[in-house]
Amino acid sequence: MGMNAQAKTGPIRVLHIITRMIQGGAQENTLLTVEGLNQKGRFQASLVSGIDRGPEGELLSRVPRNTRLIIVPELGRSINPFADLRALFKLYHIIRSGHYHIVHTHSSKAGVLGRIAARFARTPFIVHTIHGLAFHDYQPWVANWLCRLVKRGCARITDHYISVSSNISSKALLAGIGKPSKFTTIYSGMELDWFLHAEVNPLETRRQLGISPDAPVVGKIARLFPLKGHQQLLEAIPSILSRHPAVRFLLVGNGILYERLRNRARDLGVLDSLVFAGLVPRERIPEMLSVMDILVHTSLREGLARALPQALAMGKPCVSFDLDGAPEVILQDQTGFLVKPGDSVALADAISRLISDPGLRSKMGTAGRRLVDPMFRAETMVERTIEVYTRLLQADPERLRKFDNLA
């Protein structure tokens, strides 16, 4: 079966399932993948999502009209045995009635329920994308043990894994999830030209944000949410300000920690140096990046934050905690600096060094622009995802033929 192969009844039908469509990296990845697949004549992609409203913003309204969108309210992020059971039955009936050839799941809860439903519905091929691992050092060992147990069980019914970073793949394999032959790293794609060729007015954006034209700006783009590392950045700010008093820190994003972070900044005496931009539509992210001299990423768990390649595409060096997928895009001393997770002293030193050296910032920014293109293009992500699908179809065409005969 070649690249142009069709199912007996027409295009290859693909169903993507995700827990929620908030404004976040996994959700943008899923949306762009579905959009890209539907632009290819060989595929017909649909999307199932739960509903989980919050201060992070939503992406459901951005799903194109030509994409079939199915809402399963019970699929929301919170664990509820009764709602989860209803979600499982709903997913089963959606998959059975849609006669999907491939079910592709995202995020933990949708990944578990979606794969189980697809198996019961006898879907020929099941794919799961790992955007980040549910088990990590910042939750109780019992929760980690349970997560690993569930993930290992789901591995038995998963034909292939797509991971947004090679480091995430390695961690999953070390945890006994799947086999190396079942993993493919595909970096999370985005509308890269928004950043490479951004039409922005940094001075006007600074004026709107109340930042003076000549103030150095250190930025962070992330939901104000636990484990996103805002606390670690706040702890580093007093040391940075002692060396560079004019620096302003731009925090882009909203979330449940807003008041707590403001109070902590006030306690540290640095609140006047912070600018909370709040929730910003993704189309305005290039504007926010344009006023930054340095992007900081201090998340304590993340597959590979989209803000890193976005910043590099705009020629902005980055300082990041050295974990998960960050080392695959932040090359030490080339596109930025990596520091030990949680080390606010090293974080302050790395940021201060870049503030002091405009030439180094420019050099790293230039290297970053070269690195991310075409690696992080949405088009690249979609084509590589199609390659995964095609390998599965080619490896077992009989499975597809039998399914079509039964449909």
Q: Is residue 63 part of a domain?
A: yes
Cβ(13)–Cβ(7) below 8 Å: yes
181: helix, coil or strand?
A: helix
Q: Domain check: are 56 and 185 in the same one?
A: yes
- The predicted-structure confidence for 378-405, as pLDDT tens digits, reads as follows 999 999 999 999 999 999 999 988 888 7
Residue 69 dihedral angles phi and psi, to the nearest 5°: -115, 125
| Residues of the domain holding 323 | 193-372
Cβ(38)–Cβ(11) below 8 Å: no
Q: Domain check: are 142 and 249 in the same one?
A: no
- Domain count for the chain, please give it: 2
Q: Domain check: are 355 and 226 in the same one?
A: yes
Kind and range of the H or E element at 184?
Answer: strand 183-185
Q: Domain check: are 117 and 20 in the same one?
A: yes
Q: Domain check: are 206 and 338 in the same one?
A: yes
Does the pTM surpass 0.85? The reply is yes
Please provide the average confidence, as pLDDT, over all residues in the chain: 93
Cβ(48)–Cβ(34) below 8 Å: no
Q: Is residue 1 part of a domain?
A: no
Q: Domain check: are 61 and 203 in the same one?
A: no
Instruction: Please report the pLDDT score of residue 139 as a whole number.
Output: 78
What's the CATH code of the domain at 288?
3.40.50.2000
Q: Is residue 145 part of a domain?
A: yes
- The predicted-structure confidence for 175-197, as pLDDT tens digits, reads as follows 999 999 999 999 999 999 999 99
Q: Is residue 47 part of a domain?
A: yes
Q: Is residue 362 part of a domain?
A: yes
Q: Domain check: are 217 and 354 in the same one?
A: yes
Cβ(216)–Cβ(273) below 8 Å: no
Q: Is residue 7 part of a domain?
A: no
Instruction: Please report the pLDDT score of residue 142 as a whole number.
Output: 86
Q: Domain check: are 227 and 368 in the same one?
A: yes
Q: Domain check: are 215 and 132 in the same one?
A: no
